[in-house]
């Protein structure tokens, strides 16, 4: 799995997180809206769950790549 993350450029993950991860920008990003719905227990519709997955995936991949980069530098 580490080799998969090594092949994905960090710049691509940053661009995906800032565009798809935050789209639409107004009135508030979908990811933020869905996280608030999740926290309040209102995330019940299938479409809302798909939105959370769609807009959250770039952020999760970015976090995982950064974590793997940090842990590999500590091992050296």
Q: How do residues 14-24 score in pLDDT, each as one tens digit?
A: 999 999 988 88
60 in a domain, yes or no? yes
Phi and psi, residue 26, nearest 5°? -125, 145
Specify the pLDDT at position 36. 94
31 in a domain, yes or no? yes
Nearest-angstrom CA–CA distance, 38 and 64: 22
- Tally of CA atoms within 13 A in the half-sphere of 18 that contains its CB: 6
Specify the pLDDT at position 1. 66
Is 38 within 8 Å of 53 (Cβ atoms)? no
27 in a domain, yes or no? yes
Question: Both tokens of residue 12?
Answer: 């691509």
Q: How many domains does the chain have?
A: 1
62 in a domain, yes or no? yes
45 in a domain, yes or no? yes
* Tens of pLDDT, residues 22-69: 888 888 888 999 999 999 999 999 999 999 999 999 999 999 999 988
């Amino acid at each position: 799995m580490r080799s998969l993350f090594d092949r994905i450029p960090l710049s691509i993950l940053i661009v995906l997180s800032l565009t798809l991860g935050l789209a639409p920008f107004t009135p508030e990003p979908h990811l933020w809206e869905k996280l608030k719905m999740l926290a309040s227990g209102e995330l019940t519709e299938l479409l809302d769950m798909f939105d959370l997955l769609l807009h959250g995936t770039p952020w999760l991949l970015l976090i995982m790549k950064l974590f793997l980069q940090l842990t590999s530098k500590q091992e050296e």
